[in-house]
């Protein structure tokens, strides 16, 4: 029994040392943003989808990695094997350079529940990241933190929908109805589909390349019928692709000119594409980013050689 206990203790220590290494690698990934080259639009997406780490663990990892940039003692505490990632995540909202010794010591001695109580005494609550958990082949469980005003809105919407349909409705049904209503009015893909159908019904012919012969290099607004076709073609998501993987981001999308306007690029369907903000920035500054990555790698290599000597 004693040997088993000792083996488990040693393995846990090794596991925490690996957590410390993972924090260091996460910090480097966060700084270099190399995951953009692989088609991921965020560090969270890269770690969760690309590496298969659970959403909860990724949230812990990123929070501690970023906080450890300010307070390296957190990473050292994990690397020493004395405290785990989950505990330091709990204190990341309250730990500072002035009180770091106190909170790291508490993380070592207290249980997770005791630590939560200590943090609750001094912290202002910050909502945690929403996440989906698969229950079976057909259902997910959605975990979100809400305010009183959101609760009131949800209950009001439930009352309205129940009255409208003359039957009781679950919150899932209410949210599905409300989201469909909102998307019908505001989703650019749905708007583009309606516009396309309308164009067919009235048989209005418009040239997609009406500006193709222009040599004016000043930026002009993109005609709505052209924008609609781009949105439909790209399915309302970032089209950046590398190593056979396409970015899945559907938020904060930009329209990108493949041939820049300053070089004579036109507002045509062929010259326009959809990118998320991060990949849009990446494409415009790819040369600078790649130079920075080379400098960082060379610096890391030199440091490794120096330390080995």
- What's the confidence (pLDDT) of residue 14? 85
- Which token pair is 184? 């019908």
Residues 6+ apart with CB under 8 A from 5: none
- Which token pair is 164? 């409208």
Using alpha carbons only, how large is the chain's radius of gyration in Å? 26
- What's the confidence (pLDDT) of residue 201? 65
Residue 206, exposed/middle/buried by CB under 10 A (0-12, 13-18, 19+)?
Answer: exposed
Rounded to two decimals, the pTM is 0.63
Judge contact between 120 and 52, C-beta under 8 A. Answer: no
Judge contact between 75 and 20, C-beta under 8 A. Answer: yes
- Which H helix or E strand runs over 254? strand 253-257
- Which token pair is 214? 């222009």
Token pair 């959605």 in the structure block, residue? 142
* Separation between Cα atoms, residue 48 and residue 46, nearest integer Å: 6
* SS3 of residue 97 by DSSP: coil
Q: What is the DSSP string of 121-163?
A: HH----PPPPEEEE-SSS-EEEE----HHHHHHHHHHHHHHHH
Instruction: Return per-residue pLDDT of the chain as tens, 309 residues.
Output: 788 888 888 888 888 888 888 998 999 999 888 898 888 889 999 999 899 998 888 989 999 999 999 999 998 888 888 888 889 999 998 999 999 999 999 999 999 889 988 988 887 766 777 878 888 888 888 888 888 888 889 988 988 888 888 888 899 999 999 999 999 888 888 888 888 887 776 554 444 344 434 444 456 789 999 999 999 999 888 999 888 888 878 878 899 999 988 888 999 999 999 999 999 988 888 878 777 777 777 776 776 655 544
- What's the confidence (pLDDT) of residue 219? 67
Judge contact between 119 and 94, C-beta under 8 A. Answer: yes
3-state helix, strand, coil in the chain (%, to 5): 60, 5, 30
- What's the confidence (pLDDT) of residue 46? 92
Question: Which residues in 128-167 are b (16+ Cβ under 10 Å) and which e?
Answer: eeebeeeeeeeeeeeeeeeeeeeeeeeeebbeebeeeeee
Residues in the chain: 309
Judge contact between 91 and 107, C-beta under 8 A. Answer: yes
Residues 6+ apart with CB under 8 A from 206: 199, 223, 225
Token pair 């010591």 in the structure block, residue? 105
- What's the confidence (pLDDT) of residue 286? 80
């Amino acid at each position: 029994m004693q040997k088993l206990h000792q083996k488990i203790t040693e393995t846990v220590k090794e596991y925490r040392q690996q957590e410390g290494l993972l924090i260091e690698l996460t910090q480097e990934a966060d700084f270099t943003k190399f995951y953009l080259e692989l088609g991921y639009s965020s560090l969270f997406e890269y770690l969760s989808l690309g590496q298969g780490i659970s959403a909860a663990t990724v949230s812990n990892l990123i929070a501690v990695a970023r906080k450890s940039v300010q307070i390296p003692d957190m990473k050292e505490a994990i690397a020493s094997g004395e405290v785990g990632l989950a505990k330091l995540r709990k204190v990341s909202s309250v730990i500072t350079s002035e009180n770091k010794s106190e909170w790291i010591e508490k993380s070592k001695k207290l249980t997770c529940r005791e630590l939560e109580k200590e943090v609750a005494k001094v912290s202002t609550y910050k909502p945690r990241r929403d996440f989906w958990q698969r229950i079976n082949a057909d259902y997910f469980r959605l975990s979100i933190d809400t305010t009183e005003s959101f609760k009131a809105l949800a209950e009001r919407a439930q009352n309205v929908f129940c009255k409208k349909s003359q039957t009781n409705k679950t919150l899932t049904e209410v949210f599905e109805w409300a989201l469909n209503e909102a998307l019908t009015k505001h989703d650019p893909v749905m708007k583009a589909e309606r516009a396309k159908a309308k164009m067919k019904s009235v048989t209005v012919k418009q040239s997609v390349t009406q500006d193709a012969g222009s040599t004016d290099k000043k930026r002009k607004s993109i005609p709505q019928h052209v924008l609609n076709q781009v949105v439909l073609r790209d399915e309302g998501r970032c089209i950046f692709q590398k190593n056979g993987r396409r970015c899945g981001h559907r938020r904060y999308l930009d329209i990108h000119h493949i041939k820049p306007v300053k070089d004579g690029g036109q507002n045509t369907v062929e010259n326009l594409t959809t990118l998320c903000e991060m990949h849009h920035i990446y494409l415009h500054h790819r040369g600078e980013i790649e130079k920075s990555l080379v400098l960082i790698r060379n610096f890391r290599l030199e440091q490794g050689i120096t330390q080995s000597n």
